[in-house]
Amino acid sequence: MNNKQTQFITKAKLPTSYGEFEIYVFEHQGQEHLVLTQGEFTTDDVILTRVHSECLTGDGLFSLRCDCGPQLAFAMDQIAKAGKGMIVYLRQEGRGIGLTEKIKAYHLQDQGFDTFDANVQLGHLPDGRNYDMLEAVFEHMGVSQIKLMTNNPDKISAIESQGVKVVDRMPVKVGHNPHNQNYLNTKREKFLHLD
């Protein structure tokens, strides 16, 4: 990857209900991405990390159709408890298809499609997210090895392909509710998410 495609822009303090974080802005191919950190990192540290793709409906509007908002809250809480960690917040709404297309996918889901097939029906990949910016982001943050909060094996592979070692994995088992059972089943059965 050409690291010049990803640039650090600015940082500031971000007080939250999970304590104070530093918030960093990176730009990659015209798109802004965020990093939240707590604590000081050294190059030998294994950093507790969540790589989280934006979900406005789940993260900001508290939708029960997915488990994204609870996963983000879980990650912030775990980092606060550890006193050190990082969240890479990637602006890739709807597994990379964008907000409008995601709402179209919701409409198809209302008609019986699962999240995998709804994206395909709209002419998209089931998961079109891209992790090319991570090499430069992790390099800027001085992080080369992480304990990753995820259930997604493809995310582990994508991160490791960017030169970051995933030393350990912390399962994320939050946000289950009656409205997202099909969504969670599809994650396990078609996206092969781990328990």
User: Which residue numbers are catalytic?
Assistant: 127, 129
Distances in Å between the alpha carbon of 142 and those of 35, 40, 136, 189? 13, 10, 10, 36
Cα 191 from Cα 163, distance rounded (Å): 23
Strand pairing of 6-16 and 19-28? antiparallel
Distances in Å between the alpha carbon of 140 and those of 43, 143, 158? 11, 8, 18
Cα 35 from Cα 21, distance rounded (Å): 9
